[in-house]
Amino acid sequence: MQEKANSCIGIFDSGIGGVTVLKEIIKILPYENYIYISDSKNNPYGDMKKEKIIKRCEEITKYLIENKSKVIVIACNTASAIASEFLRKKYKNIPIIAIEPAYKMVYDHNYDKETLVMATKGTIESEKFNLLYKKYNNHKTQLLECVGLAEIIEEGNKEKIVKYLDENIGKYKGKIENVVLGCTHYPLIEKEIKNILGRNVRIFNGAKNVAIHLKDVLEKDGLINNIEKKGKIEFLDTSLEIEKRKNKKKRFFELIGG
Ligand code: DGL
């Protein structure tokens, strides 16, 4: 029991985007402790070389395991697409839960409709995503590499976000029914995306399913923390600039709502 109480869920993203996944997890696992790593020294991952993403994911995972993580959650679609297989092979004794663009959800819930998948270049070009895409292809799908979007969401500049969306997704207005948010940063601008594409578009986001899957895995492995006390969240950002680290932390806790 003591062992379980001291252990935590390790979660990471290239920045603060993974907060959209953590929020869903906390809703169903409120008594767990969390360490969240935001790798802002090295982001964006979206157009980074594969080898570097794998190296960073390996270093972060190692750190999280050394700091008592009983499970790792990759709250970044790009990192999942590129590094999850490597991490699972390397760290065989710890469950590694990885998010992926919710394209199967479209197949399950609104298959026969025009669909836009928004994700990073790294995700869209990855083998992992392409396997998923081929398996559930509805032949009415546009894949959009949103180069630079995660960066401006990190910055938090509303005007830049609206301008970017206008220029890059404006052309899909009225032509799309389903939108897959294939990057964990994008749910942070769901409202702005709907403002451009129309209030009626259906948004698909894999975060909730990750949370449910994580809970199942912890239950199956007997790793759930049953002590009914609200868990702690530790936030670490890798930036070398103190101000930047402070700002990230502030925004992260604002977004998490605590
Ligand atoms: N949040 C990450 C994702 O889900 C990527 C952001 C980045 O490009 O660093 O893909």
Give residue 195 CA to ligand 1 midpoint distance, Å: 22
pLDDT over 80 at 80, yes or no:
yes
Q: What is the pLDDT of residue 227?
A: 86
- Mutate which of 21, 118, 128, 185 for ligand 1 pocket (most atoms within 8 A of beta carbon): 185
pLDDT per residue over 40-64, tens digit each?
Answer: 999 999 999 999 999 999 999 999 9
pLDDT per residue over 179-194, tens digit each?
Answer: 999 999 999 999 999 9
pLDDT over 80 at 133, yes or no:
yes
In the chain, the domains with their CATH numbers are 2-99+207-256 (3.40.50.1860), 103-204 (3.40.50.1860)
pLDDT over 80 at 4, yes or no:
no
> Given pLDDT bands bounded at 50, 70 and 90, which one contains residue 258?
low
Tokens matching residue 257: 């709502």
Give residue 75 CA to ligand 1 midpoint distance, Å: 9
pLDDT per residue over 161-180, tens digit each?
Answer: 999 999 999 999 999 999 99
pLDDT over 60 at 31, yes or no:
yes
Which pTM was predicted? 0.96
Q: Which atom of ligand 1 is nearest to the CA of 99?
A: 4
Torsion sign, CA atoms 161, 166, 170, 174 = positive
Q: What crossing angle do the helices spanning 77-90 and 127-136 adopt, rounded to 10°?
A: 110
Residues with CB under 6 A from ligand 1: 13-14, 17, 43-46, 76-78, 120, 123, 150, 183-185
pLDDT over 50 at 2, yes or no:
no
